[in-house]
Amino acid sequence: MGFVKGISYNFEGLLLGLRTPRLLVLGLIRFSLIIAVTTLAIGLIVYFHNSLLSSIWPRPQSPWLIWLWYLVSWLFSIILMGLSALLAYLISQVLFSVVIMDQMSRITEKLATGSVSQDSRLGWWRQFIHLIKQEIPRAVLPIFFTLLLTVLGWLTPLGPMVTLVLSAAAVVFVAWDNTDLTPARRMHPFGKRFRFLLRTLPFHLGFGLLFLIPVANVLFLAFAPVGATLYFVTINNEISPQPKNAPLPR
C-alpha cells in the first residue's frame, strides 16, 4: 500500500505543480537546471560507454553469448542514464536548487494547510545555511556513496544485482530529500526524521521509483517537493477542510 501511495503522490504533486503558476515557474527552473547537468552527464556516459562495458565484460566472440552481451549493454545504458539524472540532481542541489525546493514546499504547505509552519528564530541567511547543512547528511553523502558503490559493484560478478539494489537505495534517499523538507524546516531533530524514513521505506521507494525512468525522471525530480510536502502534511493530519487551489491527497 505504501509503495503504491508513493507513486500516487509523485503524480499528484506533478499535476498540482503544473496547474499552480508559482509552483510551475519554480519547477521549470529546477527542470532546466537538472536538464542541463543531466545532458552533460549522459554525454559523458555515451562517450565512455563502450570502454566502460568492455572493462567489465569484453565483447564475446561466441555467437551464443553475443546476444546476452548486447542485452547487458542495453540494460547498462538504461541504468546509467537513470543514475546520471540522480547525479545531476545532487549537483544542482549543491548549487542552489535546495532553496527552490524549500520555496516549492512552502507554497504547497500553504495551499494545503493555509499556513507555513517553521522556526521563526531563523533569519533568511541562517535558514539558507540550515538548508545546506541538512542537505549533506540526508542526500549528498548517502547518494554519493551509493553511486560510488554502484560503480565498484560492476567490477564484481554480481554487478547487475548490486546496481539494482543500490539504485533502489539511491532513489529512497532522493525521495527522503523531498519529504524531509517540511520537518527539517520545523527544526525536528535529525534522529526523529531518520526514523520517519525507516518507518515509511515502501512509500519512499514507490515515490522514488519514477526517478529511474529516463527522460521522465527529470520532470518528476523537478516537481517532487510538491507531492512530498502533500504527503507529509496529510499523514500528520494538517490538511485544512477546504485547501485553497489544492486537491485533497488520497
The string of pLDDT tens digits covering residues 18-53 is: 999 999 999 998 888 777 777 777 777 677 766 766
pLDDT of residue 35: 78
Q: Mapping DSSP to helix (H, G, I), strand (E, B) and coil, where does residue 242 land?
A: coil
**pLDDT category of residue 245 using cuts at 50, 70 and 90:** very low
pLDDT of residue 204: 94
The string of pLDDT tens digits covering residues 123-167 is: 666 766 766 777 667 766 676 667 677 666 666 666 667 777 777
Instruction: Report which residue type is found at 115.
Output: S
Return d(Cα 169, Cα 78) in angstroms, integer.
Answer: 17
Q: Residue 128, CB half-sphere, CA atoms under 13 Å: how many?
A: 8
Pick from 42-56, 76-90, 235-249: least confident? 235-249
**pLDDT category of residue 205 using cuts at 50, 70 and 90:** very high
**pLDDT category of residue 213 using cuts at 50, 70 and 90:** confident
User: What pTM does this model have?
Assistant: 0.71
Q: Is 212 exposed, middle or buried (0-12, 13-18, 19+ CB in 10 A)?
A: buried
Average pLDDT over the chain reads: 78
243 pLDDT higher than 70: no
246 pLDDT higher than 80: no
Return d(Cα 78, Cα 194) in angstroms, integer.
Answer: 30
Tell me if 10 sits within 8 A of 219, measured CB to CB. no
Q: Is 173 or 50 the better-scoring residue by pLDDT?
A: 173
pLDDT of residue 247: 46
**pLDDT category of residue 121 using cuts at 50, 70 and 90:** low
Q: What is the mean pLDDT of residues 183-212?
A: 90
pLDDT of residue 195: 92
